[in-house]
Amino acid sequence: MGGFSLIHWIILGLFILLLFGGSRFSSAMKDVAKGLKSFKEGLAEDDKPEERRDPRSLPRSGDRPIDVTPEPRRTEEPAPRSADDI
């Protein structure tokens, strides 16, 4: 009970084939195959070692590097006290 037998799968497959038609089904399977192929190629590219680059090197495009030096803190000095405030 509750499981599909072989005849159920065959009937379901024929129904889907009739519903979508032969050309739609084959083109959908081609698209799935292309997707799987590109996915596998993407995984293979991840396995290749990347070029090691010195992170301290400057960009080579001629752009100036971004200055991330923090500015000195501004400290508010208290106003000078006069002799009248005492």
**Rounded to an integer, what distance in angstroms lies between the CA atom of residue 6 and that of residue 13?**
11
75 occurs within a structural domain: no
**Rounded to an integer, what distance in angstroms lies between the CA atom of residue 75 and that of residue 59?**
36
40 occurs within a structural domain: yes
**Rounded to an integer, what distance in angstroms lies between the CA atom of residue 52 and that of residue 60?**
15
Residue 34 pLDDT level (bands cut at 50, 70, 90): very high
Q: What is the pLDDT of residue 33?
A: 93
70 occurs within a structural domain: no
Q: What is the pLDDT of residue 45?
A: 73
* pLDDT of residue 19 exceeding 80: yes
24 occurs within a structural domain: yes
Q: How many domains would you assign to the chain? A: 1
Residue 8 pLDDT level (bands cut at 50, 70, 90): very high
What six digits make up the tokens of 45?
């590219």
Domain that holds residue 40: 6-44
Segment 35-83, tens digit of pLDDT? 999 998 888 776 666 566 665 665 555 567 677 888 887 777 766 676 6
Amino acid found at 85? D
